[in-house]
Structure formats: C-alpha cells, structure tokens
Copies of this chain bind each other. A is one copy, B any other.
Amino acid sequence: MVAMLEVTDVSAAACCAPLVREPLGAVDAERLARTIKALADPTRLRLLSIVAASEGQEACVCDLIEPVGLSQPTVSHHLKVLTESGFLTRSKRGTWAYYKLAPASLDEIARTLLAG
C-alpha cells in the first residue's frame, strides 16, 4: 500500500480563507487590505496588465513608460509597489530592469474574494 501525502500549502491556507467563509480577524484584514491597496490604482492595474500581456509575461521598464504616459520615476514607483506586494518580480539585465508577472499572487487574492 502506498502512503498518500497530501501537500498542503500552509501559508496559502492561512492567508486565503475565502473572505465569505468566516469573519476575518483584525490582523488578517489589515494584511489583506494592504495587498488589495496595491491593486487599487489605475496606473498599477494598467502596468500589471501590460506586463501580463507581454511575451513571457515579462517587460522591460523601458517599454512600460510610453503606454501609461507618465514619467519614468512615477512608473518606477508604481512598479516598486507592485513588486513589494508580490505581484511582480524584478530582475536587472544590463542597463534595464525587467518585471515579470507573479500570477500566483493575483490568483491568491482572486481565490480569497471568490464568493460563489
């Protein structure tokens, strides 16, 4: 008989009890609100969607400035917020920084909010 191991992602389980299943405690609510706040900005949503639609879900910061029509420091600030919140990962290659979508972070939020 083969023992079956169920792999449980404890961190995901702790953070991702759906919002509608049980009352959220104060600490969990603070953490979730902070993460959601990183998405609650039109420029950050556009940057995320441009990166996500790029080849390999990765884009150079140099290709993100023109589409959103903002200054490079402003775009870099928004990319920093998205990276610190776990929605993007950043890597430097040569002169430029490249940002890659971390789809698991979006999925985690989506699963948390799913009510149906």
Contacts and interface: CB of A to CB of B under 8 A. Distances in A.
A1 to B, nearest CB: 33
B49 A20 contact: yes
A84 to B, nearest CB: 15
A19 B33 contact: no
Interface residues of A, number: 42
Contacts of A101: 20, 115
Interface in A20-52: 20-26, 29-30, 32-33, 36-37, 39-46, 48-50, 52
Nearest to A115: B103
Interface SS majority for chain A:
helix
A100 B67 CA distance: 40
A64 to B, nearest CB: 10
A116 interface: yes
A104 interface: yes
